[in-house]
Amino acid sequence: MAPPYMGPAWLDLVRRLGRSRGFTLLELMIVVAIVAILAAIAYPTYISYVTKTRRNAASACLSEYSNYMERYYTTNLRYDQDTSGTANTLTPGMLDCSADSQTGTYYSYSFAKTPALSQSTYKILATPQGVQATRDTTCGVLGIDQSGQRYYQTTSTDTAGLATCWQH
């Protein structure tokens, strides 16, 4: 009598296991389609998140510039120049937050031309540049003035837009 593991059922099982190695082309194509759908959803969401994060960093940097201007005023009793008459200027990387390693690659910071920097007023702008300018069409240029009024796209009256663009 032959052992039970040598019977026809055993041989059939061995044959089926030998044929069932690997995946069919249809199974692989289904997996590729699922991964493509997930990537098509995830990538735009990721890009949107990165854009908002950079905008939030720029608004925080504007707040730092505003704090700098208030310290400058406390020392010199005016915003536009120091006590020796030297003009106050914003230079790239002046504060650490505007360095290229922080937000300087994606935003440039400057005083607004109107209203011009004066003894009692200022308005600082963060202008998106490069890829940030093409992605952040909702908010665009951010600004803050001496009274703490915040701006985006040169408006300060759209409270819903300000809440979106200046969220911390």
pLDDT of residue 159: 80
**H helices, E strands: number in the chain:** 4, 4
pLDDT of residue 124: 93
pTM over 0.85: no
Domain assignment present for 92: yes
Domain assignment present for 4: no
Structure tokens at 108: 């440039």
pLDDT of residue 128: 94
Domain assignment present for 11: no
CB-based contact 61:126 (threshold 8 Å):
yes
27/10 Cα distance (integer angstroms):
28
Q: What does residue 51 show for φ and ψ, rounded to 5 degrees? A: -60, -45
Domain assignment present for 43: yes
Residue 107 host element (H or E): strand 107-111
Domain assignment present for 16: no
Domain assignment present for 82: yes
pLDDT of residue 167: 80
Q: How many domains does the chain have?
A: 1
Structural domain harbouring 100: 22-165
Domain assignment present for 52: yes
Point out the residues of the chain with pLDDT beneath 50: none
Domain assignment present for 140: yes
Structure tokens at 70: 């208030």
For every residue of 78-114, DSSP letters joined together read SSSB-TT-PBP---TTSSGGGSTTTTTTTEEEEE-SS
